[in-house]
């Protein structure tokens, strides 16, 4: 949560609605949180300006656009000095196949969420990019068989303002 913006109960309800109903009109959202459309718009603009709302996007079904294989790849770097980490992070940010990357605690350094067309595409990504020149010592891949849950919304319904 952004420390410069204080959130009240109405802000949290607004954020929850925007996460689930991103295409709803301002008037529809305002009615659901019992605000006038102008007051609702001012709150949303304040949340955007404060960095609480980081942006808006459509959720795309990967298979519908020919991206039929997803994998989670646990990565361990060869070196842990700052230049090696910066090189890896820069490489990851250049790879379209990586839709998320998380630094981890434990025996592996990073977890990559990779989305590709098929196994051949994954193989090219792994051999030509990840293992080629990114300073990776070890990579362990797990393929997604099916997605049981993928929430697009953060779980702040229980937060107390």
Structural domain harbouring 74: 62-143
The tokens describing 124, both together, are 């090219």
Q: pLDDT tens string for the chain (161 positions)? A: 445 788 999 999 999 999 988 899 999 999 999 999 999 999 999 999 999 999 998 889 999 999 999 999 999 999 999 999 999 999 999 999 999 999 999 999 999 999 999 999 999 999 999 999 789 999 999 999 999 998 878 887 777 66
What is this structure's pTM?
0.85
Q: Are residues 116 and 78 in the same domain?
A: yes
CA distance 126 to 50: 38
CATH number, residue 36: 1.10.10.10
* Domain contains 153: no
CATH number, residue 66: 3.30.70.920
Domains: count for the chain: 2
The tokens describing 128, both together, are 């030509």
Whether residue 125 contacts residue 116, with contact meaning beta carbons closer than 8 Å, is answered with yes
* Domain contains 72: yes
pLDDT of res. 3: 55
* Domain contains 151: no
Q: Are residues 66 and 138 in the same domain?
A: yes
| Sheet containing strand 110-116, strands side by side | 98-103, 110-116, 69-77, 136-143
Q: Are residues 55 and 66 in the same domain?
A: no
């Amino acid at each position: 949560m952004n420390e410069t913006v204080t959130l009240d109960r109405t802000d949290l309800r607004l954020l929850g609605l925007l996460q689930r109903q991103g295409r709803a009109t301002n008037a529809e959202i305002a009615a659901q949180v019992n605000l006038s459309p102008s007051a609702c718009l001012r709150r949303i603009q304040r949340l955007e300006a404060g960095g609480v709302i980081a942006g808006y996007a459509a959720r795309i079904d990967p298979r519908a656009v020919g991206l039929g294989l997803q994998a989670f790849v646990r990565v361990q770097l060869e070196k842990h000095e700052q230049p090696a980490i910066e090189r890896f992070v820069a490489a990851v940010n250049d790879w379209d196949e990586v839709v998320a990357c998380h630094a981890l605690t434990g025996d592996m350094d990073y977890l990559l969420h990779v989305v590709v067309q098929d196994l051949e595409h994954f193989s090219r990504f792994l051999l030509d990019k990840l293992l080629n020149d990114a300073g990776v010592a070890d990579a362990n891949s797990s393929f997604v068989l099916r997605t049981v849950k993928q929430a697009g919304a953060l779980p702040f319904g229980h937060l107390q303002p």
